[in-house]
C-alpha cells in the first residue's frame, strides 16, 4: 500500500488514472483540487483536499506522509511551471519519495538537483484520438488530433513524413502508472511508455489501406509551424473541429506554441 497524492486530480487524464488506482484497491489516495471538493463525487479510497497550490506550507502539510506524488497539471495553464515547482519544493520538504511530473513545457530543475526520485511518464500521444469519433475513453474528450480517420482528413507538416510518433492507449497508460506506483526498483527518469511507434507516412498509408481512399491533407509549411502561424485554424478541411478552434483563446494559442509533438528519436 502506498499513499499517493494526485495533483490536478479532477482533470480528464487524472480521472482515468484515479479509476485505475482505485480499481487496484491497494492505495490511499489524496486528490488535490482547486475547486470545492463538495462538487466532486465521493470515491472509495480517495480523500479530496482543496488547494490553489500557492501556499507552500499548506502543500507541505497536505503532503506529509505521502509516498508518491503524481502531477497532471495542464502545463500551459501553469505559466513557467510556477505552481508545479512550488509543489515539487513542498514535496521535497514533506519527505515525499517519488514524483511523476506533468511534463509538457514544465521546467524540472528543482527535481533534477534534488534527492527526490522522479519520472516523466512520456506516453506519446493518446492513441484513442485515432479512433475519433468512437468514444473509447471514460473521461477524456476525444477529437481528431492531426489525423481524422473517420473523415479521412489530416494536418501534416511538409517535412514531417518521416517523423516518428509514439502512441499509447489511455488504458495502457493507466495500467503502466498503476504498476509504476507499485514498482520497487528505482523509477527511470524518462518513462517512455510506447504502445506503437509509427511514422507520419506510415499512418497516412494505413488510413488509405483501411478506408480505401487517401487522406485529404492540409500541408503545413515548416516556417509557419515554427513561427506559430497555424494556418489550419482557418481551413475548412477540418470542418466543425477547425471552426471550434478558429478563434482560439490565448490559453489555447500559448498551449499550441509551447507544445511539441512527442516524437521519438
Ligand atoms: N499525450 C497526449 O495525447 C495528451 C493529451 C491530452 C493531455 N495530455 C497531458 O495530460 C495532462 C493532463 O491533461 P488533461 O487533458 O487531463 O487536462 P485537464 O482536464 O485540463 O486537467 C488539468 C488539471 O490541471 C489543473 N490545473 C490547471 N492549471 C493549473 C494550475 N495553474 N495550477 C494547478 N492546477 C492546475 C486543473 O485543475 P482545476 O480542475 O482545479 O482547474 C485540472 O484538474 C497534461 O500534462 C497534458 O499535457 C496529454
Higher pLDDT, 229 or 76: 76
- Nearest atom in ligand 1 to 102's CA: 45
Please give the residue range of the domain that contains residue 130: 125-168+196-258
Mean pLDDT of 36-60: 95
Question: What confidence score (pLDDT) does residue 257 get?
Answer: 41
The reported pTM is: 0.86
- Summary mean pLDDT of the chain: 84
Q: Is the pLDDT of residue 265 over 50?
A: no
Residues 6+ apart with CB under 8 A from 163: 157, 199, 200, 261, 263
DSSP single-letter state for residue 21: H
Does the CB atom of residue 49 touch ligand 1 within 6 A? Answer: no
Pocket test for ligand 1, best of 11, 50, 104 (most atoms within 8 A of CB): 11
Residue 265 lies in a domain: no
Q: Which residue has the higher pLDDT, 235 or 150?
A: 150
CATH number, domain with residue 250: 3.90.25
Total count of domains within the chain = 2
Higher-confidence residue: 49 or 156?
49
pLDDT higher than 80, residue 68: yes
Q: Are residues 49 and 145 in the same domain?
A: no
Q: Specify whether 70 is located in the same domain as 152.
A: no
Mark whether 131 and 84 lie in a shared domain.
no
Query: In this structure, is residue 225 part of a structural domain?
Result: yes
Domain identity same for 38 and 96: yes
* Span 98-146, pLDDT tens digits: 999 987 544 455 555 557 898 888 888 999 999 999 999 999 999 888 8
Tell whether 245 and 148 lie within a shared domain.
yes
Structural domain includes residue 57 = yes
Q: Is residue 205 part of a domain?
A: yes
Same domain, 109 and 151: no
Higher local confidence (pLDDT), 159 or 26: 26
Q: Final residue of a domain: which of 54, 89, 120?
A: 120
* 3-state secondary structure labels for all residues of 49-74: EECCCCCHHHHHHHHCCCCEEEECCC
Please report whether residue 185 resides in a domain: no
More confident position, 265 or 168: 168
Rounded Cα distance, 240 and 49, in Å: 38
Look at the block and give the residue holding cell 509543489.
87
Give dist(CA 18, CA 252) in Å, integer. 26
Domain membership of residue 186 (yes or no) is no
Residue nearest to atom 2 of ligand 1 (CA): 125
Q: What distance in angstroms lies between residue 208's CA and the mean position of ligand 1's atoms?
A: 33
* Residue 173: inside a domain: no
Query: What residue's CA is closest to ligand 1, atom 40?
Result: 34
Q: What is the pLDDT of residue 77?
A: 83
Does residue 39 carry a pLDDT above 70? yes
Residue predicted with more confidence, 227 or 104? 227
CATH number of 54's domain: 3.40.50.720
Mean pLDDT of 36-43: 93
Work out the average pLDDT over 36-61.
96
153 inside domain: yes
Q: Whose CA is nearest to atom 15 of ligand 1?
A: 12
Mean pLDDT calculated for residue range 188-212: 93
Point out the ligand 1 atom lying closest to the alpha carbon of residue 7. Answer: 34
Which residue's CA is minimally distant from atom 9 of ligand 1?
Answer: 74
Amino acid at each position: 500500500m502506498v499513499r499517493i497524492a494526485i495533483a490536478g486530480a479532477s482533470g480528464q487524464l487524472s480521472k482515468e488514472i484515479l479509476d485505475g488506482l482505485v480499481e487496484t484497491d491497494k492505495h490511499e489516495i489524496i486528490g488535490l483540487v482547486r475547486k470545492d471538493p463538495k462538487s466532486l463525487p465521493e470515491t472509495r479510497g480517495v480523500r479530496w483536499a482543496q488547494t490553489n497550490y500557492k501556499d507552500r506550507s499548506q502543500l507541505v502539510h497536505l503532503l506529509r506522509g505521502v509516498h508518491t506524488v503524481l502531477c497532471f497539471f495542464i502545463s500551459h495553464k501553469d505559466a513557467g511551471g510556477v505552481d508545479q515547482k512550488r509543489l515539487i519544493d513542498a514535496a521535497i520538504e514533506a519527505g515525499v519519495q517519488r514524483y511523476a511530473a506533468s511534463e509538457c513545457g514544465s521546467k524540472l530543475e528543482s527535481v533534477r538537483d534534488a534527492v527526490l526520485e522522479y519520472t516523466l511518464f512520456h506516453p506519446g500521444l493518446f492513441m484513442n484520438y485515432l479512433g475519433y469519433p468512437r468514444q473509447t475513453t471514460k473521461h477524456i474528450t476525444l477529437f481528431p488530433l492531426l489525423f481524422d480517420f473517420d473523415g479521412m482528413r489530416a494536418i501534416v507538416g511538409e517535412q514531417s513524413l518521416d517523423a516518428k510518433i509514439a502512441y499509447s492507449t489511455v488504458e495502457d497508460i493507466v495500467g503502466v502508472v498503476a504498476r509504476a506506483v507499485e514498482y520497487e526498483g528505482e523509477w527511470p527518469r524518462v518513462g517512455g511508455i510506447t504502445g506503437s511507434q509509427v511514422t507520419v507516412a506510415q499512418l497516412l498509408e494505413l488510413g488509405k489501406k483501411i478506408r480505401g481512399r487517401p487522406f485529404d491533407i492540409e500541408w503545413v509549411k515548416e516556417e509557419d509551424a515554427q513561427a506559430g502561424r497555424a494556418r489550419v485554424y482557418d481551413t475548412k478541411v477540418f470542418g466543425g473541429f477547425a471552426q471550434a478552434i478558429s478563434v482560439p483563446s490565448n490559453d489555447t494559442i500559448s498551449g499550441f506554441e509551447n507544445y511539441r509533438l512527442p516524437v521519438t528519436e
